[in-house]
Amino acid sequence: MATKTAASMDQHEDHEQLVAGITDQFQGLYDSSAQAMYIYLDDENKSCNAAFAKLLGYKSPKDWAKTTLPFPEVFADAGSQHTLVSAYRHAMDSGIASSVPITWKTKTGKPVATNVILVPVDFQGHRFAVHWVEKE
pLDDT at 11: 60
DSSP bridge pairs for 126: 123
**Measured distance CA(105)–CA(111) in Å, rounded:** 5
**Measured distance CA(42)–CA(52) in Å, rounded:** 17
Average pLDDT value for residue range 103-113: 97
More confident residue, 5 or 134: 134
Where along the chain do its domains lie? 6-135
pLDDT (tens digit per residue) in 4-35: 444 444 565 788 999 999 999 999 999 999 99
Give the closest residue to 77 by CA, choosing from 99, 101, 61: 101
Query: Is 6-135 a domain of CATH 3.30.230.10?
Result: no
The pTM assigned to this predicted structure is 0.88
pLDDT (tens digit per residue) in 54-91: 999 999 999 999 988 999 999 999 999 999 999 999 99
Q: E strands within the chain?
A: 36-42, 45-48, 98-105, 111-123, 126-135
pLDDT at 12: 58
pLDDT (tens digit per residue) in 44-53: 999 999 999 9
